[in-house]
Structure formats: structure tokens, C-alpha cells
Amino acid sequence: MKIFNFLVFLFLICTSSTGYGSSVAYEGTKEDTSRVIELNILGNNSRLTDPQQTLEYANLALALARKLNYDNGIAEAYRVKGIGNYYKFQTDSAVQNYLESLNYFSRSGNLGGQAKVYNNIGNLYLTMTKDYGNALTYFRKAFVIAKKLNLQSLIAGLYLNIASTYQRQNFYTKSLEYYGKSYALFTELKITTGITQCLQNLSAVHKKLGHLETAEKYALEAIEKAKAVDENFTVASTNLTLSGIYVTMGKYREAQKAIDEGREYAGTDKNFKRDFLVISYTLESKRNNYKKAFEYLQQVYKEESELYSNDASEKYKLQEAKNKQEQIQKENELTIERQKNNILFVWASVIVSVLLVVVIVLLTGNVRKKAKTNKQLTALNLEISTQKENLDRINHNLEEIIDERTRDLKIKNKKLSEYSSHLSHQIRGPVATLKGLMNLDKEGLIDKDEVIQQMEKCVNDIDDKILHINDMLHDPHKYGFKSELHKDL
């Protein structure tokens, strides 16, 4: 009856509730949306060669997607804008772009898009603020979704980013493990950008571990592949690693060549400028050119001061952005939950009227079945009681049989003990005689013939006693064994 009352209550709520409107975003023609997708791809692909071009493609995609009311296109355009600003080191703008992207992806229920944005935010924490804990948190959130949706290229990128995080924490064994996974997957997918980044980072890790020749091999291969696809940032950063390798190996000319090439590809990037100043200082120190080394050190100090100030500002901005993003995500989850509840109410109003009839029929049938079941249970209880009484009688009989057999075993054990004692008593005399004869023979106190004669007599005596005891064991009453035994004892 409780189920029945609940369903009636639910039916009244559903039938009395007002309808709700739903809006579906217009996504234009297939050709229009394809153009948005194409522009976003072009923007993403140019991030390592020309971040400004990335922003221009993203703005074109965003304008067209807004015109078409194409939510997924708008979300991806914001994400690509964030990537462009990230590579231009405009962190505040990048954060805002990522939050806008995440908002649109959440509204459209695009989990794959959300995973990509989580990956981008993780990169911000990794490279801009060096907050490795939050970086790994976002990478793992992205990885769970990517694994669920089988997004192979994103999984490969996440392996790379997780490996980079472990590398910066000096966990080199874990770092190499994840770089290996990333390299294998990027190679399988034939994604050159991922391959070059893996090679570059593998070179850096092996340099840290002191595997200089291996590090040099990976660095040269990374530079070659990066130049083939115009990845300026990768060429610059790999030359930075390679110059450090050459300084450690004592190849100062090659180190200077790598520094010069790296600066050329780095352009005006402040972080690269600082890093190349540091390696130049190290190189001049190794060359004993202390005056030049001191000049580089002064420039490093100046750059470090500016970058430290910027890092503190970026950490604050990123924390604010994180809080804002979490708030937006909670609001989106509440909106989605409300929509789900509305849909459930609509379906309930359609289905409940049918369910009510079915439930009433089922309840009536259940009452009848319950009465019938009670009768069957009563009969079963009676049968069980009868069986219990029978079992009790059987158990009682078994106990009597066990007692009887226990008494029988005790009697047999006692008889066996008596037989053993008798055997020992009968055999002991002839054996003692034999031992005496052997001692007399050893001392030469008796003739050989007499020894043999006496030993034969003892052996025959023993044999007779054994045969006699055997007969007694088979039929003890025939020989009055028990009486003789008790008499001897």
C-alpha cells in the first residue's frame, strides 16, 4: 500500500505541474560548421610556430560559430584562443579563454572538449606557476574522460604532460615510463609534434641521469624533426638542452653553436632569453672567461627578478581562475541536474497512469498469493517438525550404537595389551638363553657343538611358543589363555 500511495502522489504532482520549454542551438549547415572546425584545427596546429596566427584563426572561428549559434564551435574557438595566449605567455587571457571554453563545453555536455580544457589548465599550472599538485589533478581528470571516450591523441598528450610533471619533480624513473608510453602512442598515431616533444624531453631526462650520449642522440633527432615542421619553440628548447649536454661533455664550440641557433628560433620569448643567459654564463665559466660570465650573471639576475614578480602575479590569477571555474562547474552541474529532473517528471506523467493500473492488479494478486503461501508455509512447518522428531530418534539410536562400539573397542584394546604382555613373557626366556650362550662362546667357556645344540633347542622352543601364541590369538578360550595369563601375572 505504501508503493501505491507514493505512485498516486507522484501522479498528482506530474499531472498538476506546468510544461517547460526547451531550446536547441541552431548549428547552421554542415558546410558552415565544417568551416568552424577547420579554422579551429588550423589555429591549434600553428601554436608552436606562430601563436599570433593561432589567435587570428581562433577569432575567425569564434565569430562564425557565434553567428551559427554553434556551441561546440564556440567552446573550441575559446580553447584555441587560450592556447594562443598561453604560448604568448599571456596567462590571464589564457585562463579566461579556458573558462569560457569549459562553460560552453559543459552546457553542451561535450566531455571530450572538457577533457581537453582540463589538460590545458593543467599545463598552465605546470609551466606558469610550477604548482605540480594541481597540474597532476587536472591531467588525471582529463585522463579519466579521455580513457572513457578512447581519445588516443589526447591520451598520448596526457602521458607527455604527466611525464613532464614527474620530470620537474625529479622523479626520473616515472618520467621515463610515461615518456615511453607517450612516444609509442604518438608514433602509432603518426603525430610529429608529439614525437618531437617526447624526444626533446627524453633528451633532458637522460642528461639529468648522466646519459650524455643518449641525451645528445635524442636532442639531435628532435631538432631535425621539429625543423621539418617549423616548430620554432621545440627547436629553441631542444637546443637549450643540447647546449647543456655539450657543456657537460666539454664540447664548447658545439655548445656555442647550439646556443646561437636556439636564440634565433626563440625570438623575443622572455623565458628562453633567461634560460640562454644561464647556459651562456655556464659556458663562459667553463672557458674561464670570467668577465663575460659575470656580465651574463648580471643579466640573469635582472631577468630572474622580473620573472619572479610575474610568477607571483600569475599564481594569484590562476588561483582566482580556479575558484571561478569550480563555481561555474557547480552551476552547470545544477542546471544539468534540474533539466534531468524535469525530463524525469515528464516521463513520469506519461508512464504513471499505466503503472497505477498494473500496480493495483499486482497488489490484488499478491494478496491472494500471500494467503496461499501462508497455507503452504504452515504445511511445511508441520513437515519440518515431523522430520525433526525423526532426526532426534535417529540421533539417539546412533549415540547408543557409538557407545556400544566404544565399549567393544575398549575390550579389544585390553585383550591386545594382554596378548602383547604374554608374548613378551614367553619369548624373553629363550632369547635370554641365546644371549648367554653367545657370551659363553665369546669367552671360550663352552664347546662349539654344545653351543649349536643349545641354540637349536632355544630356536625350536621359540618357534613352538610363537605357534602356540598364534593359536591362542585365534582361539584364546581353547587354551585357557586368559586364566593362564592372569595366573602368570
Distance CA 471, CA 405 (A): 26
Phi, psi of 182 (to 5 degrees): -65, -45
| Residue in 289, 284, 288 with CA at minimum distance from that of residue 259 | 284
Distance CA 76, CA 113 (A): 7
Q: What is the pLDDT of residue 448?
A: 81
- Rounded to two decimals, the pTM is 0.54
Low-confidence ranges of the chain (pLDDT < 70): 1-30, 304-336, 339-340, 423, 472-489
Q: What is the pLDDT of residue 330?
A: 66
Q: What is the pLDDT of residue 88?
A: 86
Do 205 and 172 contact (CB within 8 A), yes or no? Answer: yes
Distance CA 98, CA 328 (A): 12
Q: What is the pLDDT of residue 431?
A: 84
Nearest-Å Rg of the Cα atoms of the chain is 47
Q: What is the pLDDT of residue 10?
A: 42
> What b/e readout covers 15-42, taking b as 16+ CB neighbours within 10 angstroms?
eeeeeeeeeeeebbeeeebebbeebbeb
Q: What is the pLDDT of residue 488?
A: 45
Output the nine-digit C-alpha cell for 216: 645528445
CB burial of residue 275 (10 Å; 0-12, 13-18, 19+): buried
Output the nine-digit C-alpha cell for 476: 584364546
Distance CA 250, CA 241 (A): 14
- Per-residue pLDDT tens for 35-81? 999 999 999 888 878 889 999 999 999 999 999 999 999 999 999 99
CA angle 448, 450, 451 (to 5 degrees): 65
- Per-residue pLDDT tens for 177-236? 999 999 999 999 999 989 999 999 999 999 999 999 999 999 999 999 999 988 888 899
Q: What is the pLDDT of residue 439?
A: 86
Q: Where are the domains of the chain?
A: 204-312, 417-489
Distance CA 434, CA 438 (A): 6
Per-residue HEC secondary structure of the chain comes to: CHHHHHHHHHHHHHHHCCCCCCCCCCCCCHHHHHHHHHHHHHHHHCCCCCHHHHHHHHHHHHHHHHHHCCHHHHHHHHHHHHHHHHHCCCHHHHHHHHHHHHHHHHHHCCHHHHHHHHHHHHHHHHHHHCCHHHHHHHHHHHHHHHHHHCCHHHHHHHHHHHHHHHHHCCCHHHHHHHHHHHHHHHHHHCCHHHHHHHHHHHHHHHHHCCCHHHHHHHHHHHHHHHHHCCCHHHHHHHHHHHHHHHHHHCCHHHHHHHHHHHHHHHCCCHHHHHHHHHHHHHHHHHCCCHHHHHHHHHHHHHHHHHHHHHHHHHHHHHHHHHHHHHHHHHHHHHHHHHHHHHHHHHHHHHHHHHHHHHHHHHHHHHHHHHHHHHHHHHHHHHHHHHHHHHHHHHHHHHHHHHHHHHHHHHHHHHHHHHHHHHHHHHHHHHHHHHHHHHHHHHHCCCCHHHHHHHHHHHHHHHHHHHHHHHHHHHCCCCCCHHHHHHHHC
**Amino acid at residue number 52:** Q
Q: What is the pLDDT of residue 412?
A: 73
Output the nine-digit C-alpha cell for 104: 560552453
CATH tag, 204-312: 1.25.40.10
